[in-house]
Amino acid sequence: MILQQKFFHRLTLAVTLKKKTEKQMNSKIEQSVLRLNKNAYNHKKQELIKYESGILRVNENDSGFWTSFLYIIFLILVPLGFLIHNIIFEKDYLTISLLISLIVLFVYQLNKIIVGENTLEINLKEEYLTTKNNHFIFKKILKPKKINFCKIVKSELTKNSIQHKFDSSKWLRLSIKDNLGNKYVLTDFKNSYPENTIANDVKNVIDATIN
């Protein structure tokens, strides 16, 4: 009888602590979402953030066919055309080597750009997040990803850049790591005010969901 009472006492205590932790967690998430919405509203950036029925959508924007097509033309097809021309007609091996290196570099830069141009959806009710690429063509290659909150162990907001001839493009990239050590790119933000503060607020929402 005494053992049963002790068991039920411990069970009741565990349930009470769990409910208290969940309540604190929900409060923390709500506060971070409110802070994010207020920031977006104050800076008139509501197109970046949409919150409805417990679902937070970030960077919901389809780039369309032509944006994706222009990326492919200028970063891949044009250098590839020069390469084929040199192989068939010129046979200048130095130029061919340089063009191959250029194509590899452009493919790397293209991947670096498009991999973070995603719509991030955070489902606070069902406790998972999804990413979907915004490009008409590349979304068929970069499949949507779904990650449950319970698997997220860390979020990161890092600076990324691509160097041009006279300047560079800079942006912020939000990503997470799961309990198996896998890294997932969620979405990108401009590395300028006020988007950099909105990026930090989105990161805080994800941090609030981590147990």
pLDDT, one tens digit per residue, over 54-69 is: 999 999 987 666 667 7
pLDDT tens sequence across 20-35 = 444 555 788 999 999 9
pLDDT at 5: 46
Query: How many alpha carbons fall within 13 Å on the CB side of residue 90?
Result: 13
Rounded Cα–Cα distance for residues 114 and 159 (Å):
15
Distance set, CA 10 to CA 4, 14, 16, 18, 119 (Å): 10, 6, 10, 12, 44
- Tell me the range of 79-93, 98-112, 194-208 where mean pLDDT is highest: 194-208
* Least confident segment among 45-49, 65-69, 111-115, 157-161: 65-69
pLDDT at 65: 61
What is the chain's Cα-based Rg?
A: 23
**Cβ proximity of 198 and 36 under 8 Å:** yes
